[in-house]
Amino acid sequence: MILDLALSDGRTISQLGAADGTRAILVVDPFEWRTCANGVAAWLNWERHGEREMFLVLTSQPTEFESRQLALAGIRYAGVLQGRPPVGTPLQIVLRAGKEPDVRTGMTDEVAYRTIAGLDAAP
């Protein structure tokens, strides 16, 4: 399962953040992160406005150039996957205490904004 994917430091995706809160985990290839930069920005903004967390996980170690681009954009990543995910990226995972995980592939700006709006409207 996607939540059991391991990061290079031994943690799994499901172990990122507090289990009793709301978490968004974005899995992105460092080469393609710019194609979903607006979606990543929407999630970063979402994280700033409440008791919730957003984690960016990369599918591979970024090159020096990619690391610089991420740093210039003010984006930090939580870790790097040990292997490739079983589905395409970018991947958007929302974990909420007591709820089924919401996993979506191909995160576009529209998907990010719609998902965030649904979370903000939920009790």
Q: Which of 66, 91, 123 is nearest to 3 (CA)?
A: 91
Say how far apart CA 123 and CA 105 lie, in whole Å: 25
Say how far apart CA 17 and CA 68 lie, in whole Å: 25
pTM: 0.90
For residue range 88-123, list pLDDT tens digits in order: 888 999 999 889 999 988 877 888 888 989 888 876
Task: Read off the tokens for 96.
Answer: 């909420």
User: 85, 27 in Cβ contact below 8 A?
Assistant: yes
Task: Read off the tokens for 56.
Answer: 């960016």
User: 93, 27 in Cβ contact below 8 A?
Assistant: yes
For residue range 42-94, list pLDDT tens digits in order: 998 999 888 889 999 999 999 999 999 889 988 889 999 998 888 888 899 99
The partner residues of 91 in beta bridges, in order of sequence, read 27, 105
User: 76, 43 in Cβ contact below 8 A?
Assistant: no
What domains appear along the chain, each with residue ranges and CATH number? 19-121 (3.40.30.10)
